[in-house]
Amino acid sequence: MKRRFVNPFKVKGEWFKGNVHTHSISSDGTKTPEELIEMYHGAGYDFLSITDHSIVLDTSGLDGNGLLLVPGGEMCIGRSEAGQFYHLVALGVEKNLPFKDFDYNLDPQEVIDHTNAVGGITIIAHPYWSGLNHGDLMKLRGYHGVEIYNTSCAYERNTGLSASHIDGLIAAGLEPYIYAVDDHHGAERPQVPIDACGAWISVKAEALSVKHILDAIKKGYFYSSTGPEIKDINIDEDGVISVECSPVKYISFVSTPSLGMKFHAEDEPLIKAVYPGRPGETYVRVEITDYEGKTAWSNPIYNS
Ligand SMILES: [Zn+2]
Ligand SMILES: [Zn+2]
């Protein structure tokens, strides 16, 4: 079986950990950019995008203190079938997007096309929380990826996991990349943990610079996690997929509807699984889950 995969485990570079969806007091977050830098740097992150609503924060005067700041913003526009906004995160944009935020009449495709035209990329944020259905998502083209997990939506509303939205798109022939993000706001509410440092992407890049990180993200050299580590994905000449990872309870090969495979740990945690695939599959993506329910997601591997 021939496979097509942008494999970050087989390219040169170092791993850098980052969160690409965060809010500060410039929109509806509770922390200053300096406080965000301190918090994420202290938690071992290498880069951060502060993606405030309606505004691309000018980070030129900020000292990241070793934490790289990747410019970005978030727009809430358009109207889904359920009457809700689409939320789009734009990364790699230097200036405010030339649109009015919170505009039901603005077509989200216009924001995606503009972001691409200025060299950025768009991520569709938290489709489950937004109430976007398959038809809403299928109208859009040209975006880079979709959030599979959003810490803020998970902690506050239990609508953080959008895996089935993404699988619906892939099964329909689209090829989105998969992102796990915090969407940190920092609202302190009783019985709700702070939505920080809970989800990230690990990017394989040659160096820690805005250009290198964005280039690597654009190429797909990353995977997402809320805890466990994917150490290697190997595909042999027969298309057999081998995964190595930190100790986990489950290793799943999520695939075309009704196909795929899930391996369960028995006496020992799993650190490896091998999957040859099944006839009829058009894609496979790797999902590993540890004993605390924390998960890592590879980007999709396509059968060609
Ligand atoms: Zn949002
Ligand atoms: Zn947000």
Q: Residue 216: what pLDDT?
A: 98
Considering only CA atoms, which of 234, 201, 239 is closest in space to residue 220? 201
Residue 258 Cα to ligand 2 midpoint, Å, equals: 33
* 113/238 Cα distance (integer angstroms): 38
Residue 126 Cα to ligand 1 midpoint, Å, equals: 7
Domains of the chain, residue spans: 3-226, 228-304
Q: Distances from the Cα of 127 to the Cαs of 184, 192, 206, 239, 278, in angstroms?
A: 16, 21, 32, 32, 29
Residue 166 Cα to ligand 1 midpoint, Å, equals: 17
Q: Residue 206: what pLDDT?
A: 98
Residue 8 Cα to ligand 2 midpoint, Å, equals: 27
Residue 28 Cα to ligand 2 midpoint, Å, equals: 9
Q: Which ligand is nearest to the CA of 157?
A: 1
Residue 4 Cα to ligand 1 midpoint, Å, equals: 31
Residue pair 21/123 in contact by the 8 Å Cβ criterion:
yes
* 257/246 Cα distance (integer angstroms): 27
Instruction: Residues 3-226: name the CATH superfamily.
Output: Metal-dependent hydrolases (3.20.20.140)
Mapped onto helix, strand or coil, the DSSP state of residue 136 is: helix
pLDDT in tens, the chain (304 residues): 899 999 999 999 999 999 999 999 999 999 999 999 999 999 999 999 999 999 999 988 888 889 999 999 999 999 999 999 999 999 999 999 999 999 999 999 999 999 999 999 999 999 999 999 999 999 999 999 999 999 999 999 999 999 999 999 999 999 999 999 999 999 989 999 999 999 999 999 999 999 999 999 999 999 999 999 999 999 999 999 999 999 999 999 999 999 999 999 999 999 999 999 999 999 999 999 999 999 999 999 999 8
Q: Which ligand is nearest to the CA of 73?
A: 2
Phi, psi values for residue 129, rounded to 5°: -60, -40
Token pair, residue 60, equals 């030129």
The alpha carbon dihedral of 23, 26, 30, 35 has a sign of positive
Q: Burial code of 98-112, b = ≥16 C-beta within 10 A, e = fewer? A: eeebeeeebebbebb
Token pair, residue 182, equals 């915090």
Q: What kind of architecture, by CATH, is found in domain 228-304?
A: Sandwich (2.60)
Residue 29 Cα to ligand 1 midpoint, Å, equals: 12
Residue 165 Cα to ligand 1 midpoint, Å, equals: 16
